[in-house]
Structure 1
Amino acid sequence: MTSPDPGVYISPAQTYQGVRGLSKAVHRIEAKIDGVLNETKNLRDDVADHEARIRALERARWPVPTIGVLAGVAGAATGAVSLFAR
């Protein structure tokens, strides 16, 4: 008959050290996650700022084609007036 395997004995001090190491690792991960969340907030702010700038540029751009059309109409009207004025 063989004797039973006594197994592995882990002392309370070793368990405590393991738990402390795990706690430190969790704190490091939490700090990294906080940093990533702060950076994504900054990115969201940047995207919102860029979106607002693009919208402002799009709104400011509409008069350019309108001015071109008005200049064309004015030129055609001037040409018509000079043609009929003869």
Structure 2
Amino acid sequence: MTVPEASVAVELERLRGTVATNFAEVKGSLAVLVEQSQRTKEDVDRLRVDTEKDIGALRTEVEALKRNRWPLTAIGALTGVAGAATGAVALFIR
């Protein structure tokens, strides 16, 4: 080998080392990104399950409130009838 060929071989070897190092760095960065995306997916799934559970509990509470609410229309009608009866009694007593 002549001197220029040896110099080229050394530079090619140095270039190969640099490329291999950079590929290893990229591979490591991709592995970190994959791990973070998996964690994020797990967190989103857990949040979805918790949210659906909370929504179910709220629906149950709303249904219980609907069942236990006062029948305002019936109370209004009874109040009106009682007022009319009281007025009629007061009118006839005089």
Q: Which moved more, 1:61-70 or 1:49-58?
A: 61-70
Any runs of at least 4 consecutive aligned residues in structure 1 with deviations exceeding 6 A, and if so which?
none
Equivalenced residues, count: 75
Give the unaligned 5+ runs of structure 1.
1-10
Work out which of the residue numbers 46, 67, 74 in structure 2 matches 1:56: 46
Aligned to 1:7: none
Q: Please give the TM-score of this superposition, normalised by the length of structure 2.
A: 0.67
Greater Rg by CA? 2
Give the unaligned 5+ runs of structure 2.
79-94
- Give me the whole-angstrom Cα distance separating, in 1, the residues matched to 2:6 and 2:69: 95
Q: Please give the TM-score of this superposition, normalised by the length of structure 1.
A: 0.73
TM-align CA RMSD: 2.4
Greater fraction helix: 2
Work out which of the residue numbers 2, 8, 14 in structure 1 matches 2:4: 14
1:69 is displaced (CA, Å) by 2.1
Percent identity between the aligned chains? 7
- Give me the whole-angstrom Cα distance separating, in 2, the residues matched to 1:69 and 1:14: 81
